[in-house]
Amino acid sequence: MNTLIAITALGVICLIFELLNLRKILVPFSIVALCGILYLNSLDYNQTASYYNNMIVVDNFSVTFTALFIVLTTFLVALGHHFYDDVPEKLSDFVAIKIFLLSGAAAMVSFGNLAMFFLGIEVLSISLYILAASRRLNIKSNESGMKYFLMGSFASGIILFGICLIYGAIGSFDMRVIMEAAVSADVEEWFYIGGILLAIGLLFKIAAVPFHFWAPDVYEGAPALTTATMSTLAKVTAMATFFKLFFAMSGNLPETSQTVLVVLSGLSMTVGNIMALRQANVKRMLAFSGISHAGFMLMTLIGTQISAGTLLYYGTAYAFAGIGAFSVILYVCRHLENEDIVNFQGLGKSNPFLAFVLTTSLLSMAGIPIFAGFFAKLMLFSQVLESGHLALVIVAVVNSIIAVGYYFKLILAMYTKEPQHERTGRPFYIYAVATVALLLNLTIGLFPSLVTDLLR
Amino acid sequence: MDLSIILLLLLAPLGGFLINTFLGKQLGKGASGAIGTLAIVISFVCTLLLFLGLEPGADTKADLFHWLTFQNFSVDFSFQFDQLSLLWLLFVTGIGSLIHLYSISYMHHDKDFYKFFSYLNLFVFFMIVLVSGSNLPILFIGWEGVGLCSYLLIGFWYSNQAYNDAAKKAFIMNRVGDLGLLIGIFILATVAGTLDYQGLETFFQTKGSLVDSTWLAVAALCLFIGACGKSAQLPLYTWLPDAMAGPTPVSALIHAATMVTAGIFMVTRLHFLFDLVPAIQNVIAVVGVSTALFAATIGLAQNDIKKVLAYSTVSQLGLMFLALGVGAYEVAVFHVITHAFFKACLFLGAGSVIHANSDEQDMRKMGGLRKVMPITFITMLISSLAIAGIFPLSGFWSKDEILLEAFHYSIPFWAVASLASILTAFYMFRLMFLTFFGEFRGTEHAKSHLHESPALMTIPLVILATLAAVGGLISIPGSSWLMHFLEPLLHTDGAPEHHALDQTAYILMAVASVGALVGIFIAYRKYISNKEVPGEDSEVTGFTKVLAEKYYVDELYDSVFVKPINLLARFFRDVVETALGSLVYGFGKAAAEISNQGRKVHNGSIGLYLFVFVIGFCLIVSYLFLAQ
Amino acid sequence: MQDVLNQVGINNYIFLSVLLFCIGVFGVLYRRNAIIVLMSIEIMLNAVNLLFVAFSTYHEDAQGQVFVFFSMAVAAAEVAVGLAILVSIFRNIGSIDVSNLKKLRG
Amino acid sequence: MEVIYLLILLLVGAGLTYFSVDKAASRVALLISTVAFGYSLYLVSLHYGGQLPENIHFDWISKPSIGFDLRLDGLALLMLVLTTTLLPLIVASGIETKFANAKSLYALVLLMAFAMCGTFVASNGLLYYIFWEVALIPIYFIALIWGSGDAEERKKQVVKFFIYTFAGSLFMLVGFVYLYGKAGSLLLTDLYKLELSYDEQLLVFGGFFLAYAIKIPLIPFHTWQANVYQKAPAMGTMLLSGIMLKMGLYSVIRWQIPISPDASKELMPYLVWIGIAGVIYGSIVALRQRDVKKLLAYSSLAHVGLIAAGFYGLTADGITSGIIQMFGHGLVVVGVFFAVEVIERRYQTRAISELGGIRAQAVKFASAFLIVTLASVALPGTVNFVGEFGLLFSLSTQNVWFSVIGGLTIVLGAYYMLKMYQQVMLGEANKKPFADLSVTESLIFGALAAVIFFFGIYPQPINDLIAPAVNEIIAQISTN
């Protein structure tokens, strides 16, 4: 709870900083403050508590995921230092929006009441609409924001309808009541319909097939840093929320719901990966890659013993790899019109370190060992195989193979071609974020217990 | 057995090889040749020492160290110097020494002189390993080793790709045989659990009858295939005539006297196995006698002096296999030895002739050389008489014994073998008459260079001619030293009738002698009286043409084996590889194509996106409710 | 209220809401004018709000009505953002037809 | 503990090399690899003295419970020695070539050696898998960046290679995951104890088979091989053919067969035929190649086919001989590819049609090339003969036809190798000058020849070293 308050307060302080003309130290200050909040958050570990009539429930699930979100926000804020060089007067707005976004994300994993859940998801979404459309004069950014907004609102409507039906069935928004209702035998039909609507709304947020269409367009059009936010923070948040809701409502779910999950998971992977093969724009490619990762993450919900630890690990691995990749993309495409793969040519020669970071990030996403992505996939396979879904594992394996195809397109461009552009400057924040992301990726890749043991 | 002598015997040629390989260039030709020759002479002396110190019943084995380990048997690096090995070693190192000596002069102008000696030394080394190994894998080391040296020496003049082709052909054909040999070895190892000669002999004597005779027959047949390869028998003989591409001393040493007899050696070594499978013995006899006749007929129409000798070698080897097939191992060995003498002499003599003729090998361009090269002429004449089987030269005794044994075994075999002998007499004297009699038919330039060869070359000729003349003494019917010498190994005392000098034997001897004389007479009529000279290749017609073209066997092999394999290789390379490759790419291409189609679906229209959203929504909801 | 609800029956409220919601959905699907699409989304949200209120009465529980305030506030914020984006789009391409938004595709 | 130092040495060595300068990188790498070689010999001496602990365990991951387990028995040690023997030679082979960004290249070479050594000693399935995959990444970059030929075509081939092998190994990973579900551990010994039903074994066997068949490679999974060998730089080709494909073969006897013995037994004839088909196919395709490296790649295909056939024949003799042949093949294949590199350095071509007449100019090189050529056709006296003889023998004990058909390799092998040698080396002196071997080059060939002949005459040390491991494998096959 303190964490949530502190985050919101930090957002307000950021806005005040602009008034106080302290723009120059805004980013370092926010980073330090976020680190402080991270510490604050860690104090709640192993201290389950609920606040305000169970509006907010702080447990290990929420603490660990919130910690991950804070770390990711720290990265995103740090990357923002250089990203808004052309509109310095708006820096504080963007930083503040990111921090509000974080508060929404934190609310989404620590809600104890569907009202908080709805607020959280809307805070997150509205922040993202703004960020996506934030390049006012750029038609692509506008289009991206508009598409996201229209479709996001549509999904919000569905979520709201779902909440409404659940409320109608049990007369409460409280998660404890919902969990009880889920296991009880006689409950109104609406309850299930509401659950399904809720799930579909969240499937939209994590961009699972067939609700994924917005993702590539929005990712491509949005400013790169926003794309980074969407593909790391927003995606993991939505997935964690989905997990939490699913866990709460999975009391006596019919077998068919598993089938649906298996099919959606397999479809998301396959569609995402195959579509990514022929993309020239890196952001768009990563959007499709994100769709396939959504499919992988859906696998955590499959099986007899679903494991939050696995999801946390997968999300962490995926997000760190994404941060690493986007820090390089931000660097490479700073002064360029688009993020096409050709722009990455020769990076291995001009900036070997960044090329290395991008390579490791991509290898991690592809699931190649010593990087975190490998263990993430391993645990998923292990869990799904135990529950007997060999076919899904095979699909996942085939997809991992396809994925290598497009990840390597980027690596090839970096190492086998000559640079087309002069690349100057060694922006500190980008290098720092890239380094830290790489180290974190390697650390949890070599010692996965560090993360998985947080949630047992 | 004195280990130091054995090691010296083995290692002297190896040392010679190493010194010549690494230091040959620095040493200069004189020292290089001397070291090469000396190495073999040392081995010869060692062999003599061992030979003289041989006591019946003594242990002849020398274990060096452990080599291969398998579950049910193991192979040691060990050698055995019993009667058979020593006999072979004697003529290998003996003739080897002479040929080395000869080569010093013969190869004097070659720029790779030292290489030649290093290869020759290596050859002798492997030959020693081959004959003195005490088990089949060691024999196989020598077997392949001599094959390698043969390859190196046939292709000694590597600038000429035709020679290289011949070398390659020799090696590959030998390997076909080697595969057979290996399979035979494997079966023996599985059946008997040992590959040691003594162990095998014990096994076959005690448990031979318990073993499934099919396996024994297969093993024996496979081993015989190996022998066919090395000893140039049908159908694997075609490499030997081509092997004449090598320098003449090589032909003398490797392709006449020693290496090609390895097959006979091996069969003799494993006589206890072959004795158990009469069917295979029959096969051996048939192959031997057919080869003898087949090669002899080809020999009739050859004009290259070395090719004639080569086919003669194939034919003689066929006779030896006939002897093996009829179970007369000691007779085969006897013929091996006499053949080594006279054939080495013939080859060296041919070398001498070629040397004098400015490297011309075509007999149509020779003639009348007896006046210029008397020593060469006389030594070759003696050897030719010996090979033709004229009393009392060595060839008479050995060939006669083979015919005798064949007669006792089966009269058709005898008849064919006799025919081959008559043909031999004919083509050998065709060679002699064309080369040494009449007028010189070469160019004026060549004529001015004609000369008798230097002493280093004639001395070996004389020694070999002497041996060819008197070598038969080691096994004169009635009192055969050779038979007694080999008796501990071959246990020939069980078959005394082999050497009974009865009336039949005398008649056969007379028939054979008359036959030989007839052959010589025909040659005389044709080439001396009528002064015929074989025509140009293009003029030859009819059956002679078939003979001159060696029955088109090479062409047959080419179209049955070589071309199809190469065709298959092309097919694999161009079709199968491409197909497999594109199959793998196909997956990638298909995925990319689906991706391209999918991109059309993602057309940027919010309406479509939401439509799919709603469709998906409806599908999920309806599935969840309908499926219940 | 309770009486009215009892007379009409909760199911009818649900049907009405669903109907309204579907009208909203079809509006979003078939209209190209961004403003109308926005309004359709509002219809969807308000359909739900209606149902919230109905359920709230049905359960005699105030939470549902409180939730309506939440959702209205959120919807207002959303629309504000949406209109802002719409304005900047209109400035850039001079049209508010969503079918013109096809630069991002493939 | 000791073996960990070796791994650390290679890893740190890779780092040192990367942070050295381009000019000195090859020497740094050579130094490190030589030290590694010496150290592995020291390990052998410790092993013989019984002072080398066979199993090493560190806690690593708590859930799933995976330890950092290494196992250094004779078999693993032999593979380690093979790797560290070849490594200095491979590094030395590049010393005379100027590479762009040499420090990265040599760092990758050492990194790859590190991963390969790790693969050989890892005794926990996951650790093994990680090393296995990590070994793939350096070779990918080595082939991609320092390879030869048209860049687009090379890219295509190298990516294909990576995806293909990666695809195979993922199925192995599924196999491991499955095994973990059954055994609750991935420790080799635990997996050996596992009693799986036939169908379960079949599943695991199949997963592993895809990985190994592609890596080794067996036909028809070989299509990456020739092209990558051709495109990769000499060093990469040597690493790939000399060591990396041994990883696949090694894994067959260490992981695949003992874990799924019943499936192996049931499938034995088919697997052996696949291996033998590779022998014949590889030999025949090699006959008509235009590029020397491609020819040698197909010859390698034939050789490993025979080794695989020996392993899948499931006899102690076959496994022992196969291991010896792995050792021999590693040496020889490095030798022949180095010979090609020597030619390419001087003539800038590998097209057979453009070569010939080298023998007349470079006697030393001709002899060296001939020696490795002959070793490749398993002439007695070379370690390859010991291996091939044993392999064919072991196959003959299962079915004589195995060894008759498989034995055709000695005929066909001689055919294509000698044909190649003739076309490349013999004939009229080439018009272009060909400098004879330099000192470094001579030393590399000399060292290879020495090892080839020594173990050809005296293979007993290898036999002794691997006998316990082979017995364990055989026991595993026969008890289950």
CA-nearest residue to A152 within chain B is B610
CA distance C39 to B291: 104
Q: Does A210 touch chain B (CB under 8 A)?
A: yes
CA–CA distance, C56 with D116 (Å, rounded to integer): 68
Give yes or no for a cis peptide into D468 (omega within 30° of 0): no
Average pLDDT of span A116-142? 92
Q: Which residue, B501, B527, B548, sits at the end of a domain?
A: B548
Half-sphere exposure of B323 (CA within 13 A, CB side): 27
- How far is it, in rounded angstroms, from Cα B164 to Cα B154? 7
Alpha helices in D288-381 (DSSP H): 292-312, 316-347, 363-376
**CB proximity list for A93: less than 8 A, separation 6 or greater:** A15, A18
Burial class (CB in 10 A: 0-12, 13-18, 19+), A446: middle
- Measured between beta carbons, the chain D residues lying within 8 angstroms of A386 are 181
Are D259 and D176 a contacting pair, CB within 8 Å?
Answer: no
Residues B495 and B475 in one domain: yes
| B65, B140, B168 ranked by CB distance to D419: nearest | B168
Please state, in angstroms and rounded to a whole number, the distance separating the CA atoms of residues A219 and A285.
9
Length of chain C: 106
Helix D223-231 with D151-183: angle, nearest 10 deg? 130
B496 and B597 part of one domain: no
Q: Tens of pLDDT along D209-265?
A: 999 999 988 888 888 888 888 889 989 999 999 999 899 999 999 999 999 998 998
B577 shares its domain with B524:
no
Residues D388-419 have pLDDT tens digits of 999 999 999 888 899 899 989 889 999 999 99
Same domain assignment for residues B408 and B499: yes
Least confident segment among A5-9, B375-379, D306-310:
B375-379
Which three-class secondary structure state does DSSP give residue B501? coil
CB A374 within 8 A of CB D130: yes
Asked whether residue B44 is assigned to any structural domain, the reply reads no
Domain-located, residue D44: no
Where helices occur in D19-135 by DSSP H, the ranges are: 22-48, 74-93, 102-121, 125-134
Most confident of A202-206, A366-370, C94-98: A202-206
Name the residue in chain C with its Cα closest to that of A154.
C41
Q: Is residue B484 domain-shared with residue B620, that is, in the same domain?
A: no
- Per-residue confidence at B1, pLDDT binned at 50, 70, 90? low
Residues 6+ apart with CB under 8 A from B573: D285, D288, D289
Could you tell me what percent of chain B has a pLDDT over 70?
Answer: 98
Taking the C-alpha atoms of residue B61 and residue B43, their distance in angstroms, rounded to an integer, is 18
Separation of alpha carbons B265 and B248, rounded Å? 24
pLDDT digits (tens, 9 = 90+) for D76-123: 999 999 999 999 999 998 888 888 888 899 999 999 999 999 999 999
Host domain of residue B565: 556-626
Q: What percent of chain B has pLDDT over 90?
A: 8
Distance from the Cα of C29 to chain B's closest Cα (Å) equals 5
Give B604's contacts in chain C (Cβ within 8 Å): 101-106
- Whether residue B136 is predicted with pLDDT greater than 70 in this model: the reply is yes
How far is it, in rounded angstroms, from Cα B42 to Cα A91? 97
User: How many CB atoms neighbour CB B364 within 10 A?
Assistant: 16
The pLDDT, as a whole number, for residue D319 is: 92
Tally of domains in chain B: 2
What's the pLDDT score for residue B437?
Answer: 82
With vertex at residue A277, the alpha carbon angle to CA A276 and CA A281, rounded to the nearest 5 degrees, is 60
Condensed to tens digits (0 to 9), the pLDDT of residues C28-84 reads: 988 889 899 999 999 999 999 999 999 998 888 888 899 999 899 999 999 999 999
pLDDT at residue C19, rounded to an integer: 93
Q: Is residue D141 part of a domain?
A: no
Instruction: Record the tokens describing residue A434, joined without a space.
Output: 């890239």
One DSSP character per residue, A399-430 reads HHHHHHHHHHHHHHHHHHS--SS------HHH
CA of A380: which chain D residue's CA is closest?
D177
Sketch the domain layout of chain A as residue ranges: 1-252, 254-456
Whether A167 sits inside 8 A of C28 (CB atoms) is no
B536 lies in some domain: yes
Residues B393 and B515 in one domain: yes
Task: List beta partners, residue A225.
Answer: none
Same domain, yes or no, for B533 and B579?
no
Specify if D144 maps to a domain: no
Does B506 reach chain A within 8 Å, measured CB to CB?
Answer: no
Among candidates A117, A73, A129, A119, which has minimal Cα distance to A96? A73
pLDDT at residue A145 in the model: 93
Question: What pLDDT score was predicted for residue B308?
Answer: 87
pLDDT at B497 over 50: no
Q: Is A186 exposed, middle or buried (0-12, 13-18, 19+ CB in 10 A)?
A: exposed
Read off the pLDDT of each residue in A204-214 and give the average, rounded to a whole number. 91
Place of tokens 């397109």: A409
**B380, B381, B385, B388: CA torsion to nearest 10:** 60
DSSP D380: B
Contact present, D123 and A349 (Cβ < 8 Å):
no
Q: Domains in chain C and their CATH numbers? A: 2-100 (1.10.287.3510)
Q: How far, in Å, CA of A40 to CA of A7, rounded? A: 10
Question: Mean pLDDT across the stretch A402-429?
Answer: 86
The band of A318, judged by pLDDT with boundaries at 50, 70 and 90, is: very high
B569 is a domain residue: yes
3-class SS of residue B441: coil
Contact A208, A264 (CB under 8 A): yes
| CA C19 – CA C26 distance, rounded (Å) | 10
Given an 8 Å threshold on Cβ–Cβ distance, is B186 in contact with D397?
yes
Which has the closest alpha carbon to B239: D403, D367, D414? D414
- pLDDT tier for residue B500 given thresholds of 50, 70 and 90: low
Is there a contact between C105 and B614 if contact means CB atoms under 8 Å apart? no
pLDDT of residue D480: 53
The CB density around residue C2, as the number of other CB atoms within 10 Å, is: 9
Count the domains in chain D: 1
Query: What is the rounded distance in angstroms from the CA atom of residue A345 to the CA atom of residue A352?
Result: 12
Pull the structure tokens for residue A319.
Answer: 């997000």
Assess whether pLDDT exceeds 70 at residue C1.
no
Containing H/E element for D268? helix D261-287
Neighbours of A47 (CB within 10 A): 10
ipTM of the complex: 0.89
Q: What is the mean pLDDT of residues B90-109?
A: 87
Cβ within 8 Å, pair A154-B613: yes
Select from D61, D77, D195 the least CA-distant residue to D129.
D61
Asked if D317's CB is within 8 angstroms of B66's CB, the reply is no
* CA atoms of B467 and B95, how far apart (whole Å): 10
Residue B62, beta-bridge partner list? B79
The pLDDT score that the predictor gives to residue B496 is: 46
Which residues, at least 6 apart from B611, have a Cβ–Cβ distance to it below 8 Å?
Answer: C29
Contact indicator for A358, A410 with CB cutoff of 8 Å? yes
The C-alpha torsion from D264 through D270 and D275 to D281, rounded to 10°, is: -160
Q: What is the pLDDT of residues D275-286, one digit of tens each?
A: 999 999 999 999
Of B529, B548, B567, the position where a domain reaches its end is B548
Closest residue on chain A to C100 (Cα):
A143
Q: Which of B605, B609, B615 is the best mutation test for C, with the most CBs of C within 10 A?
A: B605
Phi, psi of A209 (to 5 degrees): -65, 140
- Measured distance CA(B229)–CA(B169) in Å, rounded: 11
- A374, two tokens: 């490998």
B74-80 and B61-69 beta bridge pairing: antiparallel
Phi, psi of D59 (to 5 degrees): -70, 145
Contact C55 A167 (CB under 8 A): yes
Kindly list the distances between the CA atom of residue B453 and the CA atoms of B242, B245, B374, B456, in Å, as whole numbers in the listed order.
26, 21, 10, 8
CA angle A451, A453, A454 (to 5 degrees): 70
Among B residues 581-610, those touching chain A with beta carbons less than 8 Å apart = 588, 591-592, 594-596, 598-599, 602, 604, 606, 608-610
Q: What is the arithmetic mean of pLDDT over D155-175?
A: 89
What sign results for the dihedral spanned by CA atoms D13, D18, D19, D24?
Answer: positive
Minimal Cα distance from C20: which residue of A?
Answer: A161
How confident is the model over B52-57, as a mean pLDDT? Answer: 78
Cα atoms in the 13 Å half-sphere on the side-chain side of D120? 30
- Paired tokens of B595: 């991706």
Domain boundary pick from B524, B548, B572: B548
* Residue D329 in this model has a pLDDT that exceeds 90: yes
Q: Which residues pair with B74 in a beta bridge?
A: B69
For residues D229 and D294, the answer to whether their CB atoms sit within 8 Å is yes
Domain containing D343: what range? 266-480
Helix (H) or strand (E) holding B604: none
CA angle (A311, A155, A291) in 5-degree steps: 40
Q: DSSP string of A180-192?
A: HHHHSS---HHHH
D131 pLDDT band (50/70/90 cuts)? very high
- D301 and chain B in contact, CB less than 8 A: no
Q: How do A56-58 and A49-51 pair as beta strands?
A: antiparallel
